[in-house]
Amino acid sequence: ALGLASLLGSRILDEETRDHFAHQGRIGEWSRLGNEFLGTGIPGAILGGAFWIYGDTKGKPLATHAGQAQLESLLATTVLVSAMKQVTARQRPNGDPGALPSAHVAHVFATGAVLNEFYGWKAGAPVYALGVLTAVGRMQDDRHWLSDTVGGAAVAIFIGRAFARSHLKQHETAQSEPTESSVRVQPLLGPGSLGVALHWEF
């Protein structure tokens, strides 16, 4: 609901922000960082894969879940954003199709959402800041309206949080269950009988 309200509210400022950013060089060559690198989704995928491999090889299940959530959220974000572009059929400021929502912005914010859920705001905030930089770069290059970028961020945060929380729940469940070999001895008492039960969990 908050994301939808932000999207609708930002549409009011679309023309004004286009005049302010498009072809104005507000962030100069920094726009290339988001347009050609961050927004492609490749850095997020590499980060997710690195977390997954690190978690598996070092016996760090939290990192494994973080990597899996990251890759899953990026895939889901890509699919949903592509479908929404077809449904909305909105033109970009430069006249090209496929404006709403911004996939570049969504890819960065999906990564930020997952990291924020797993490791807190100190991990999420810097990535969110890179997402804002990507959004400004897209507007500077006249590739998106303000509301396109807000829509991309909203969709990505929703998806990233959903996958992250699902994996965190799985991690907490696994942590509460025995994961290592353990032996327990339990006395058995009954009418006219006495015994001992040996439980071995592995």
Tens digits of residue pLDDT in 30-89: 999 999 999 999 999 999 999 999 999 999 999 999 999 999 999 999 999 999 999 999
Are 11 and 100 spatial neighbours (Cβ–Cβ below 8 Å)?
Answer: no
| Alpha-carbon distances of 108 from 86, 126, 196, rounded to whole Å | 21, 11, 58
Which stretches in the chain have pLDDT values below 50? 181, 202
pLDDT the model gives residue 181? 46
Res 66: pLDDT? 96
Whole-model pTM: value is: 0.84
Q: Quote the Cα angle for 35-126-82, to 5°.
A: 40
Per-residue pLDDT at 2: 85
